[in-house]
Structure 1
Amino acid sequence: MRLRRAALLTAVLAGLTVGASGPGGPPGGPPAGHGVVQPAGHRVVKERGVVRSGDRPIAAAEVTLLRAGDRPGAGARPLARTRSDAQGRFTLSYRAPDSPDAVLYLTADAGPAGHPHHRTGHRVRPVRLVAMLDRGKRHGKVVLNERTTVAAGFAMAQFTRRGEVAGSRPGLQNAAAVSHNLADIGDGSAAEVLSTAPNGDRTSSLRAFNTLADILSGCTAGQTCESLFALAARPGAQAPKETFQAVADIARLPGSRPAELFALGQGRNTYRPRLTEAPDAWTIALRYVGNGHELDGPGNVAFDAEGTAWIVNNYAFNPDPLQPACGSRILSRLTPTGRDIPGAPYRGGGLYGAGFGAAIDPEGRVWAANFGFQGTGCPLDASLLYRSVSQFTAEGRPLSPPGGWRFGDIVQPQGTVSDREGNVWIANCGGRSVTRIPHGNAARARNIAPGGDSLVKPFGITVDTRGRAWVTGNGSDSVMLMSPQGEPLRSVTGGGIKRPMGIASDTLGNVWVANGGAVVTPCEGTTPAMVAEAVEDIVTRHVDASVTLVRPDGSTPAKPFVNDGLFLPWGIAVDGDDTVWVANFGGHRVANLCGARVSACPPGLRTGDPISPADTGYTSDGLERNTAVQIDPSGNVWLANNWRDVPVQTNPGGHEMVVFVGLAAPVRTPLLGPPRRP
């Protein structure tokens, strides 16, 4: 299994990055020897490039090729150094590392030397331009400019400290690959993924990206460096001393001082198109569509050990909302850069109209809950198709029979999770029960029904630090706690729990509940059309939209957490720093709250306080109506565009996954209960 996964990472992410850094050496000459590591390798490689700001070459820049550290806190190792000539050109020779996991990057340091570097003692120069190298694609030259620096800074934000890049596999490698979705290092332009549909002029991300590059150009010109570093500084932390670290700091806390940063770029038009007014936060969100004709009502996503994204869909793809769509019979699987894995999407195993249920167990097997979603006008009888769960191997081969696994009285299944022991838990939205599959053995599935009205319309499910399962009851305004063996222990009410949807656990034993307020799950007599009608006229945050913290003993604070980043909350996730992320079915926004581990939050915040802007959350015009939110091993935040803004019920599905680049603390995957740092 490990060998197959290693081979998969190499094949799928053939365009990964590799890097190195340092000063010295004549332009175009051999690498300077002082301080440069020359590990044994199979071949000597020459890297040619140019350093520039816009069309202006930057001469005498100290160009360094670095290999990123292979674990958090490890130092990046310089492999070669030189200096750019009068036209900004340089040539480096180095021995290529043997490891296919090596991540290499180029830095170009320019400007007057300032403070000494914390490790090397070298004087830090304020302008540091960076390009992540792409091992899967050879270029005539590599361009380092402000665009490539913004791309590297955002994609590597969770792996960059004090200007150096380091991190664990596969998150580090995947993040390096994502940088090439933002900038083309061959010519310094915006990358094709960012600059064309479904991105490009359809969202504001390209304009935000170019505006950030313009903001950097003021420092490159020697005019705004001190202001940039002061504004980019994270509260309570030391201000960055060079431009690459400044970008990474902005990416990790993008809602800090957005208007002031925007003002630094006023009057600069090097990179176009650009924003005409300040955003609420400096986020970059990319839409991914796989092969372009597979996603229709994506409901949830689960990441495997290599960080590839397994996505369940409500509907069979059809771009026309007026054409009746039956339930989806495919399981999508995307690379971390949003492309189809070879052979995907997968079919079979009884898949039909999966909703919120997607999980991966400790063996890498994939589980999809068949809710039976279909648009109005589909001639099929969904009641014959919504009583199963589908199971696939890590390679996408169906393990369940053509009708799916039907043990354990599954009825309109929604939330689905695996715990660390491989037990699979399924919330039966139409059955007032939970199905527990011991160690993934479907034939031993058991139905657990607490009885009465204690668990009505079960929807979301999570497993805590003790292996206990917590299930939201959307129709009973409650959360049910079950023992690791599935025994109902207690029903939790109060604390603002109102029409709860998603639920997630943290590393301290707490669980977090997304209170939909006006959202009624479409099961047990409620149809999707009724859901659409209930939310149709809600144009501002609903009074009951909130998040509730439930402590390990089942107690809750007196009041839930509320801010205007919460707009019909649906999915919820906890990242590697225990901060909380909430997907919204309205408002085109995702919210980020300070979790119970307050030390990981910006200074002055308490549990439940918004980290994202309190008035808006992190917005994006690439978002529609979102159900799921999940965090990948690179710290990218994935959301499912499940429904269109105006959901015509013949085929209401959205067609994209939306990925906020570098925004969250990375999570080890697959997710098996509380998050773990990679």
Structure 2
Amino acid sequence: MWRSIALSAGMALILGACSDGGSSSTNQKHLKLSGLVQSSSAGVEDYRVELYGSFSDDGGSRVPLGSGSTDSDGAFTIHYALSDAQRSQQAVLFVEATSGPSMLASAIGSDNGEVSSSIVINDHTTVATGNAFAQFISALGIAGDAIGMRNAAQMATNLVDPISGAVGAAIASSPNGDETSTLATYNSLANVVAACAAEHDNCAKLFAAATPPGGSAPVNVLQALSNIVKHPSYPGYPNDATDPLFNLAKASPANYLGLASRPNNWLLFLKVTGGFFSEQSPTNVVNGVGNIAFDAEGNAWANDNYEPQYVGQPACAGLRLIKFSPAAQVISGSPYFGGGLSGAGFGITLDLAGNIWTGNFGFQDPPCIGTPAEAPHNSVSVFKPDGTPISPNTGFTQGKISWPQGTSADRAGNIWVANCGNDSITKIPNGDPAQAVNIPLGPLGPEGLPRLKPFGTVVDLDGNVWVTTNRGDTVVVIAPDGTILKTLTNAEADPARPLINHPIGNAADSKGNVWIANSDWLDAPCPASAREGPATNPSITMYQTGTHDPYPGSPFTGGGLTVPWGISVDGDDTVWVFNFGPDGVEPTPTTALTGISRFCGADTSKCRPGAKVGDPISPATGYTSDALERITGGQIDRSGNLWVMNNWKQNPNPDLNPGGNSVVILIGAAAPLNTPVIGPPVPLKPVAPGKS
């Protein structure tokens, strides 16, 4: 997306194999790190500066490397040494500068453990570190999954240049910059750090504000920033009328141009279009991204509903598969074409071999129909991890694929595809299309049109596949051998509170429970759409593993639910719901902001004290941002970043290039997952920080 980040200027220290004259792993190379510690652009004196390394061979725990102190100008020098073993593995270095309760921090790196120039540690580097590493920070320090830590360091460079300490180009420029409130939020948080550095009483106010409900107060500024990310809506305060963080952001010295009014959350929503632009044109990378999936290294794979096009021009079926780096840059050689790609929809998954599967729904604007560009709706495409298509130019069509949406892999190597157009599921055993079988879910309606419209697919711990039927208002549970085990309906539900209501996305949690997003609006166009709901009764429903019974209290509401579409569960079993705008797509333009909703999941120990399964965590508005448009899919990466798809514009012409051209990343917002997610999500194991 943005310029390539050289490791010499990146936050990740990728330690390459290098020689200093010896071959023994016990040899050490003596190094020096120099720099300035600043707050409000001025050097700070008598700060203790400590350097730590986090090395993959040590399980991601951090190792103290050296220390120093700042002089009257804020300058410091640290002498340290790295062994051959340390210099031959991937690692992240952290610098923490403290004076009493005040802390300023950063992460820096180079190809071989040497930094070619002096560095700057300041208010912005501190906020960048606290956000990007939020899910890896505890009272003991920073530690976590080696890949997730490395990727977090890469993501942080979008917020700050760790060498100069300047605000990162990505957050400072289009499509961010002054086009959304994200930069101002970032600056307000930097003002909070500066207020603490200027007056230690402000540190106490920060620690109080960043104390989670029922939790312990943070022990330092980094942990406070981490808590703010994990609990972003007025942390520790029960109402929206009081926000001490906003008050601290306005306290002296308040050097950075921050928010003019109180936000409803303190998350950083980084907008990604594939470059430093926001306008739509045929040269864009994405248009109408439907969903996303992550590989084992944390790269993101996304599909396009539509071809990139100017606003107001017809957009035919998307023909590309996009690969983003963990830093949200478009990988060289991407997008990838061929393989039968045709207006891919909600379905995208990785299989056990790392191949990428995507369902070709055939999205297109009406003017494309009847032209050579008219899209087929009858295939899935498969690509190798290097972007080479495996499927032919027609895609794989075996198994009577029809207007495919949800596409999921299971842990036995099978691929499951929801056929919205013919009320069936296609099972592709072992990923071999020659073995594909079609599993009807019910009889078709007049003229062979669907009555049920299968949409979302997810696999539980037993290998059963759960399928939402968007028009049928049911959830079908299918055994691994293709037998229909159960069809869940609203038969015993209160008609005023249906358990299943225009359902779309579904997701499993780590315990095998399945969550359903009830839009109360969508009637999927596969091909016709004639039963749209009022979008006045959105909800989510949890079905229990084993019994398949709804969890008591289902369906759950609140938390800013509007038109729930996608749904995902993080490493804490917290449930995240992605709303397709503030309301249904109506002729009257809306000025309301789209929100993301969040709920307490099956592990209530990760929620506020007294919270029950299904209680909303997000405020009544959801987590809103002017960076968000109409969202469909969303997924969590290995660093805890939540990537969501701006699939449609906020006020689109539904028949003329309605697609949005961006992905939005909520930096550090969710508990990380092991990737790729195949079946129920697997949380990343915590890593002890080690000695500090």
> Normalising by structure 1, what TM-score?
0.88
Q: For each residue in 1:104-156, what CA deviation from the matched residue of structure 2 results, as whole angstroms up to 9, or x when unmatched?
A: 11110113xxxxxxxxxxxxxx1121101133695632111111111000100
Is 1:606 the counterpart of 2:619? The answer is no
Query: How far is the alpha carbon of 1:518 from its aligned partner?
Result: 1.2
Check conservation: 2:120, 2:165, Cα contact below 8 A: yes
1:618 aligns with 2:623: yes
Structure 2 residue corresponding to 1:466, chosen from 458, 462, 465: 462
Deviates more, 1:225-234 or 1:458-467: 225-234
CA distance in 2: counterparts of 1:236 and 1:358, whole angstroms:
39
1:547 aligns with 2:540: yes
- Map 1:362-377 to 2 at 5 A: 362-377=352-367
In structure 1, how many angstroms separate the alpha carbons of the residues matched to 2:42 and 2:434?
A: 67
Aligned partners of 1:341, 1:657: CA distance in 2, in Å? Answer: 15
Partner of 1:574: 569
* Conserved 8 A contact 1:42-1:98: no
- 1:101 matched to 2:79? The reply is no
Contact persistence 2:8–2:109 (CA under 8 A)? no
Matched to 2:247, the amino acid is A
Partners of 2:410 and 2:150 in 1: how far apart? Answer: 27
| Alignment of 1:585 onto 2:580 | yes
Between the aligned partners of 1:72 and 1:493, the Cα distance in structure 2 is 51
The offset of 1:68, in angstroms, is 2.4
Once the two structures are aligned, what percentage of the paired residues are identical?
A: 41
> Higher mean Cα deviation, 462-471 or 257-266?
257-266
1:129 aligns with 2:129: no
- Correspondence for 2:333 among 343, 348, 361: 343
Q: Which of 155, 173, 181 pairs up with 1:178?
A: 155
Q: Cα distance 1:348–1:662, how it changes in 2: closer, same or farther (>3 A)?
A: same
Unaligned runs of 5+ in 1: 1-8, 21-38, 112-125
Residue aligning to 1:501? 504
Is the Cα–Cα contact under 8 Å of residues 303 and 344 in structure 2 kept in the other structure?
yes
CA distance in 2 between counterparts of 1:166 and 1:138 reads: 22
Tell me if the contact between 2:644 and 2:665 (Cα under 8 Å) persists in the aligned partners: yes
Query: What is the CA-CA distance between 1:203 and the residue it aligns to?
Result: 0.8
CA distance in 1, matches of 2:337, 2:296: 21
Q: Distance in 2 between matches of 1:155 and 1:369?
A: 32
Distance 1:40 1:616 in 2: 57
CA distance in 1, matches of 2:71, 2:433: 66
Indicate how the Cα distance of structure 1 residues 230 and 72 shifts in structure 2: closer, same or farther if over 3 A, else same. Answer: farther
Greater mean alpha carbon deviation, residues 425-434 or residues 515-524 = 515-524
Look up the match of 1:227. 205
Partner of 1:677: 683
Supply the RMSD in Å over aligned alpha carbons: 2.4
Is the Cα contact below 8 Å between 1:72 and 1:168 reproduced in 2? Answer: no
Q: 2: distance between equivalents of 1:54 and 1:14?
A: 22
User: Paired residue for 1:390?
Assistant: 381
Secondary structure (helix, strand or coil) at the match of 1:513 reads: strand
Q: Provide, for residues 619-664 of structure 1, a one-character-per-residue CA deviation record: whole Å limited to 9, x for no partner.
A: 1110000000111111111100000011122211101110000011
2:641 paired residue among 630, 636, 644: 636
Matched, 1:514 2:520: no
* Alignment partners' CA distance in 1, 2:644 and 2:57: 28
Distance 1:179 1:71, change over 3 A: farther
Q: Which runs of structure 2 are paired with 1:278-293 in the superposition (5 Å)?
A: 278-291=262-275, 293=284
| Counterpart for residue 130 of structure 2 | 153
Q: Return the offset for 1:554.
A: 2.0
Greater alpha carbon shift after TM alignment, 544-553 vs 252-261 = 252-261
Aligned 8 A contact 2:364 2:375 in 1: no
Q: Residue type matched to 1:667 in 2? A: L
User: 2-side partners of 1:72 and 1:420: how far apart?
Assistant: 30
C-alpha displacement at 1:186, in angstroms? 2.4
Structure-2 separation of matches of 1:446 and 1:384: 24
Give the letter for the 2:418 counterpart. Answer: A
Which residue identity lines up with residue 339 of structure 2 in the other structure? G
Offset from partner CA, 1:158-184 (integer Å, 9 cap, x none): 001115111113111101111111122
After superposition, the Cα gap between the structure-2 partners of 1:351 and 1:435, relative to the gap in structure 1 and judged at 3 Å, is same
Cross-structure match for 1:307: 298
User: How much does 1:237 deviate?
Assistant: 2.0
Equivalent position amino acid for 1:676 in 2:
V
Matching residue of 2:172? 195
Provide Cα deviations, 1:359-391, integer angstroms capped at 9, x if missing partner.
Answer: 001110000111000123125478761100000
**Is the 8 Å Cα contact of residues 14 and 109 (structure 2) preserved in structure 1?**
no
Q: Report the TM-score, using the length of structure 2 for normalisation.
A: 0.86
Distance 1:50 1:555 in 2: 59
Cα offset, 1:490, TM superposition: 1.1
- Structure 1 window deviating more from structure 2 (64-73 vs 385-394): it is 64-73
Contact 2:542–2:554 (8 Å) recurs in 1: no
* Stretch moving more, 596-605 or 507-516: 596-605
Measured after TM superposition, the shift of residue 15 of structure 1 is 3.5
- Paired residue secondary structure (1:224): helix
2:231 to 248, 253, 256: 253
> Is 1:58 matched with 2:44?
yes
Q: Is the 8 A contact 2:288 2:304 kept in 1?
A: yes
Change (3 A) 1:621 1:356: same
Closer, same or farther in 2 for the Cα pair 1:622/1:562, shift >3 Å? same
How many angstroms apart in 1 are the aligned matches of 2:374 and 2:191?
Answer: 56
Determine the structure 1 residue equivalent to 2:406. Answer: 415
Please give the per-residue CA displacement for 1:309-348, whole angstroms capped at 9, x wherever unaligned: 0000001111x22111111111000011111112111111
Instruction: Give SS of 1:208's match.
Output: helix
Over 3 Å counting, the alpha-carbon distance change for 1:54 and 1:138 in structure 2 is same
Q: Using the alignment, how far apart are the partners of 2:459 and 2:8 within structure 1?
A: 31
Q: Distance in 1 between matches of 2:155 and 2:264?
A: 24
Determine the C-alpha separation between the residues in 2 that align with 1:228 and 1:16: 26
1:188, 1:339 → 2: CA distance? 21
Aligned to 1:661, which of 658, 667, 675?
667
- Shift of the alpha carbon at 1:423? 0.6
Aligned residues of 1:69 and 1:165 also touching (Cα < 8 A): no
Alpha carbons of 1:656 and 1:384: their partners in 2 closer, same or farther (altered >3 Å)? Answer: closer
Residue 276 of structure 1 is aligned with which of 236, 247, 260? 260
Corresponding position: 1:451 with 2:426: no
**Counterpart AA for 2:346:** F
After TM superposition, give the deviation of residue 90 of structure 1 in Å: 1.0
1:432 aligns with 2:423: yes
**Do the aligned partners of 1:60 and 1:110 also contact (CA within 8 Å) in 2?**
yes
Assess if the C-alpha contact under 8 Å between 1:513 and 1:572 holds in 2: yes
State whether residues 119 and 164 of structure 2, in contact with CA within 8 Å, keep that contact through their aligned partners in structure 1: yes
Residue aligned with 2:34, SS:
strand
- Supply the AA of the counterpart residue of 1:129: L
| Secondary structure in structure 2 of the residue aligned to 1:47 | strand
SS at match of 1:228: helix
Q: Distance in 1 between matches of 2:138 and 2:57?
A: 12
1:370 and 1:390 in contact (8 A); partners too:
yes
Higher relative contact order (CA 8 A, sep 6+): 2
* 5+ long unaligned stretches in structure 2: 16-24, 278-283, 445-449, 491-497, 583-593, 685-692
AA aligned opposite 2:91: A
CA contact (8 A) 1:373 1:382 kept: no
Letter in 2 for 1:238: S
Counterpart amino acid of residue 613 in structure 2: T
**How many matched pairs?**
626
Pair 1:307–1:426, CA change in 2 (3 A): same
Deviation of 1:235 after TM superposition, in Å, equals 1.9
